[in-house]
Structure 1
Amino acid sequence: MSPQIGVGVLIFRDGKLLLGQRKNSHGAGDWSAPGGHLEFGESPEDCARREVLEETGLQLEILQNGAFVSDVFPEVNKHYITLLMVAQHASGEPQLLEPNKCSGWHWFAPEELPHPLFAPLRTWLERDGLAALQALAQSS
C-alpha cells in the first residue's frame, strides 16, 4: 500500500496552538491539529482551508509551509506523509463541527501541550524540538 498525504494545520492565536482530541479514527484519544487528507488535484493550502473550515468553522488567511513528517500506523496498516501548514491569523472562534471525529477544540501554550499528541505533531516535535513550535507561536 502506498503512503497517503495528510495536511495538518498549526493554527496560532495569542501564542497558543489550537488542538482537538481525536475520536473514532486511528489515533483516537490523541490531541491533534485540524487537518485531513489531500484530495486529488487539491493544493496543500486549499486542503488546509477546506479541512479547517469543515472541522472548526475558522476562516484561514495567510498560510505558510511548515515541516513535513512521515508516520506509519501499523495498527491500521497506514503510512502518511503529513504536510504541516502554519496559520497565524484565523477569523472566528473554533466550533465543534464534527463531533463524531473530535471531542472539542482548545488553545494550548507550547509549553503546556496535552498528551498524548497525535503522531505527526509528536514526530515533528521529537525531530525539531519544542523551540520550533515556540518560535511559530511567538510570531502569532
Structure 2
Amino acid sequence: MTEILPARPVLGAIAIVYHQDQVILVQRKTQPNAGWWGFPGGHVEMGETALQAATRELYEETGVQARAIDYLTNIDVMLRDGEGAVQKQYLLTAVLCAYESGSPVPADDALQACWLPVEGLEDSGLELIDQVAEVARLARHTMRKASDKA
C-alpha cells in the first residue's frame, strides 16, 4: 500500500551577494515569476545546508563565486490559486554572501543576470519579486554594520 504524504513546504535558498553597494539579481525565465527579478537561488538538496545550496545555485545561475557568510532572513512564499487556496509553499532562506569572483551571466533558466544598485531598487522600473528590495537593504545594513565593527 502506498502511503500518501501530506503536502509540505519546499525549502529553498537564495544568495544575497552584496558588493560595492550592489546586489546580483536575475530575471527569471520560467515559472514561478517568469520575467520578474529576484535573487539567484533554488532548492536545497538532501544532505546540503542552505549555505551550501545558496552558493551552488548562485554559481549555477550566474557563474559568480561567493562565500556564504551567514543566514540573513527567511521568506515565506505561498502560491495561491484564483480562490486563494495555497497550491505551493516555499520557505526561502536568504544567505548573505561575500563576492569572490566572476561576472553575472545568465544560465539557461534566466533571461538576464546583473549587478544592480541597492539604492532606488524599488524605483528602478523592474518587476521585483516580493521582498527583494527589503532583503537587499537588509544585506547592505548587515554588511555595513559588520565593516564598522572591523
Coarse TM-score class (shorter-chain normalised): 0.7 to 0.9
Secondary structure at 1:77's aligned position in 2? strand
Count of residues in correspondence between the two structures: 133
Greater helix fraction, Structure 1 or Structure 2 = 1
Alignment of 1:54-93 (within 5 A): 54-75=60-81, 77-93=87-103
Q: What TM-score comes out, normalization by structure 2 length?
A: 0.77
* Cα distance, 1:120–1:81 mapped onto 2, change above 3 Å: farther
Counterpart CA distance in 1 for 2:62 and 2:78 is: 26
| Unpaired segments ≥5 residues, structure 2 | 1-6
- 1:59-93 superposed Cα distances (whole Å, 9 cap, x missing partner): 12242211001110114821000000011223111
Task: Read off the aligned partner of 1:106 and give its amino acid letter.
Answer: C
- Indicate the structure (1 or 2) with the bigger Cα radius of gyration: 2
In structure 1, the residue matched to 2:52 is: 46
The corresponding residue for 1:2 is 8
Give the CA deviation at 1:41: 1.3
Instruction: Report 1 or 2 for greater relative contact order, CA contacts < 8 Å, sequence distance ≥ 6.
Output: 1
RMSD of aligned Cα (Å): 2.3
Q: Distance in 2 between the 1:85 and 1:133 partners?
A: 9
2:26 to 12, 20, 29: 20
Aligned to 2:132, the other structure's residue is in SS state helix
Identity %, equivalent residues: 26
